[in-house]
Structure 1
Amino acid sequence: MKIASDFHNISDGQNDGHNGGIDPDQPLVPVHFDGQDYMLPEGANLAASLLAAGVRVFRKTPVSASPRGPFCMMGVCYDCLVEIDGMVQQACQTFVKAGMIITMPARPTDVPSLNAQEPSE
């Protein structure tokens, strides 16, 4: 079981329970990501927590299967897409909750190859 490393809370002093920072005083809860169990701080940003726990690849691109992980951390780039309990979401816009089942999004099997040629008529 992996445990997210301790970080200092980066909030502005007001703690609403969802400040995105990883507070070492937050209780750790179990989550499951792609075959591995992790203990992450409850209520913390999911992308930041997984990165702190050593996860670097969150998804693979549909065409080339290139690895992708969080980049912008503000919901713009979509490189942190994960499937949580059957629904594809951005990890950087999600808070850690106990018992989450997280996987890499399924790759579509019907994506044509970049090198495929159009049939001529």
Structure 2
Amino acid sequence: MAEKKNKRFGFGMAVAMTFTVVVLLLAGAYIWRITPRPYSAVILASGDVYFGQLSYFPRLSLSDPYTLQTVADPNNPEQVTSQIVPLDLLVWSPNKLFLNRSQVASISRVGEDSQVMQLIRSRNVTQ
């Protein structure tokens, strides 16, 4: 009789532990999803610069991506100015950009008070 109780107790403990692990994993995934991720700047070996919310798993990628483009100044065509352009305005309109790790030259965080962050925030407010 005692062996039967021990087996039931062991099975109950296994079920409780499995349930606890599943709940903790789901809670962690939920918290990870709702936690705002900072924006990062990624410079590729080609010289292209992208901004977005960086994710390392399962692949290196940027969500809500922007790119840095140089354009002629409309007031003075001899000068060029830089602007950031959201990639969702492009023809193929990607909402996520997957990066080749071997082509990444540099990754850095975008400062909260930087001009890039101000432009991104102003665009997100107008949407």
The structure whose residues are more often helix, as a share, is 2
Flag the structure with larger Rg: 2
The structure whose residues are more often strand, as a share, is 2
User: 1 or 2 for the larger relative contact order (CA 8 Å, sep ≥6)?
Assistant: 1
TM-score under structure 1 length normalisation: 0.25
